[in-house]
């Protein structure tokens, strides 16, 4: 399921971001470009984080930007963004963030299996090592496909 949500074009390595808001914008760009989300979805992800705090920082160095489907989701998808330099979201337990997994979901349930697969990946230190050392998107996508296939 997760591997079907991620396209090679949705993987970004060594991306520059000036702050957490810019990091969210950057992480959402591949989904916007592919027509998976509207610009309003990006704005809503930032607005929600401003209103509720950095709840999207779900683990050490990891953020999962997302918003409700009615904020402008056209298709369920996920991007993977590795920042060149980490940024602070204001989460004292898990800052700074270097990895963003931007999620667009068309409803509240259909992506839950994919999130379970993502949790497995986030518990895999080899995955983070790959993200830090990968020179191309194919390496990352192949790892995700192989890891989730054997789940």
Can 66 be counted among the known catalytic residues?
Answer: yes
CA-to-CA distance for 48 and 51, rounded, in angstroms? 5
- CB contact burial 59-75 (16+ within 10 A = b; e otherwise): eebbbbbbbebebbbee
101 and 24 Cβ atoms separated by less than 8 Å? no
Q: Which residue has the tokens 């399921």?
A: 1
Look at residue 99 and give its three-state secondary structure: strand
Catalytic residue (choose from 66, 85, 88, 111): 66
Q: DSSP secondary structure string, 28-45?
A: HHHHHHTTSB-HHHHHHH
Return the active site residues: 66
């Amino acid at each position: 399921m997760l591997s079907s949500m991620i396209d090679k074009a949705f993987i970004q390595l060594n991306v520059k971001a000036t702050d957490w808001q810019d990091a969210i914008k950057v992480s959402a760009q591949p989904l916007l470009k592919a027509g998976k989300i509207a610009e309003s979805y990006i704005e809503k992800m930032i607005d929600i984080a401003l209103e509720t705090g950095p709840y999207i920082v779900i683990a050490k160095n990891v953020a999962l930007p997302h918003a409700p489907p009615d904020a402008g989701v056209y298709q369920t998808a996920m991007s993977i963004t590795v920042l060149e330099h980490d940024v602070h979201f204001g989460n004292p337990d898990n800052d700074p963030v270097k990895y963003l997994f931007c999620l667009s979901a068309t409803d509240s349930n259909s992506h839950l299996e994919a999130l379970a697969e993502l949790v497995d990946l986030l518990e895999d230190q080899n995955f983070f090592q790959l993200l830090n050392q990968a020179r191309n998107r194919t390496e990352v996508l192949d790892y995700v496909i192989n890891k989730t296939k054997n789940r």
